[in-house]
Structure 1
Amino acid sequence: MTGVAESAVPQWFAELFAHRRWIRRVEPFPHIYARDVFVPEFYRRLAEELARVRRERPEAFGSVAADYGAVGAQLAGLRDGPLALFLSREWHDLIARVAGVATTGDVEGSVHHHPPGSPRGWPHNDLNPAWFKGPAPGPDQVTTVDPEVDLKSGARSPEVFARETVRAVAVLFYFGNPDWQPGDGGETALFDQLGANPIPALTIPPMDNSLLLFECTPRSWHTFVGGNAAARNSVVMWLHRPKEDVVRRWGGDSIAQWH
């Protein structure tokens, strides 16, 4: 098991967590799962903020990807409330330390909303390139997606400097899904192999105040199960690593290019 080491983080940050024991699993690929991540009061604030943004700022939610059932609101535009935690350096460093991955300080993330009856996704590994504007962030900073640089292609004006990274750690935090029960659908499926009709080796339920995180590798195949009886909400985010680290470890062909 793993968790939040109190000596490694500020007291205000450590006090947000309900416990310090997160489960490390090795099958079907290494990942970490945690229930009751935050103390009830802070979780309540997160859920209320989701409801407020959905109610007052529906224009913040746009299509996540073609043929994908969710809409999403960028975390970078939601920094005026408790969701700002997910863009903090403290959160970044905790996730990187738990995952055991050296990361750059670059963070990409959104609040995803799957309406009831959303279609199933497709298995993918998240080992995708991502471009960020400007120099690498300092040890107490994070860099987020900038509209001047296309995250997927790096397209930008000639005077704008950008760096290419690769997604290193994926995090899904489930919230705003009260009373979820087995059979309601909307889980995250994990696979140990792919084929014409891959069968999930494990499914992660979207239970409130729970978390799934894993290193993005050539074999970290996962997808949204779909068929959800009620709306499914989550924070979906990624930490990043230098491209050369991926090339050195798995080869350049391992990077899943955007289409």
Structure 2
Amino acid sequence: MANSLTAILTSLLALPELDRDRIAELLTRNDKKPMQTTSLRMRPGTRQLIDELSGRLGISQSELLNMIVEGSLRDIFLPFSNTAGSVIDRFELLMQAHELDPTDIAQLLSSWNIRVSVLQDRERTMDYLTTPLLQELAGWFHVSADWMLGRGVPPVDITRRIHQWPQTEDEFRALIIPTEENKNSEIIFWTNGNSDGKEYKKRTGILIKQKESASQINYYPVLSIIPQQLNSEQERWISETIRDYATTGGLRSVSIDAGLATALEQGITLPVLIFTQL
């Protein structure tokens, strides 16, 4: 897995001792106190770009850097954890996470009379985000309807049967093997492979990327099957399935760190955000 900024912050957000309320408080504070001086070393090219952009915008370099850093932290921390409290925040996060631009969204939701001009205005968009629409989106993207409605719950309702491990080999194969019904396009079997503790030892979860269509637009939801400790029979299901379908390139196994494993097990993040990093 690439050691990217998103992967690092994803791991941080999954740490049990991380005070998410404190992060939200700091990032939403608006006390209008003057900015504090800090020492920051930048690579020459980055420094030159900041100089040029600040000049074009007519603001100081420190103001531009502050906006970039604060904006990035808001985009990553607030939506990614469960601190994105508003319906519009969660709607926008869901669309962005699945790489849907306003034109795609308008086409996808055309039956709800949502147009690009509506999406350009957050207040107008909110008027169109009715409970039935949000519940429909939750079903399409395998997320919690309560989360979509702005309630204080994780993005994924791990108690739902759709997120549980199949109980028989027939159920497993029906879940994994691509068919016209399940529309699977890529499968990742993951285990937590670098923890000293025993909590995740030999625990395996599944991420299933599917290809769905609505209003002539393709979208790719990711279904998360929460991890469990497998018995020898279940391990055989996986090894035989990977062996039988290895040539398709659509099945693979990865090892992830404890932070990402916790995030998936507790349903506190959108699975697609982790899937894109693996």
TM-score by length of 2: 0.26
Please tell me whether Structure 1 or Structure 2 has the larger radius of gyration of its CA atoms: 2
| Bigger proportion of residues as helix | 2
TM-score by length of 1: 0.27
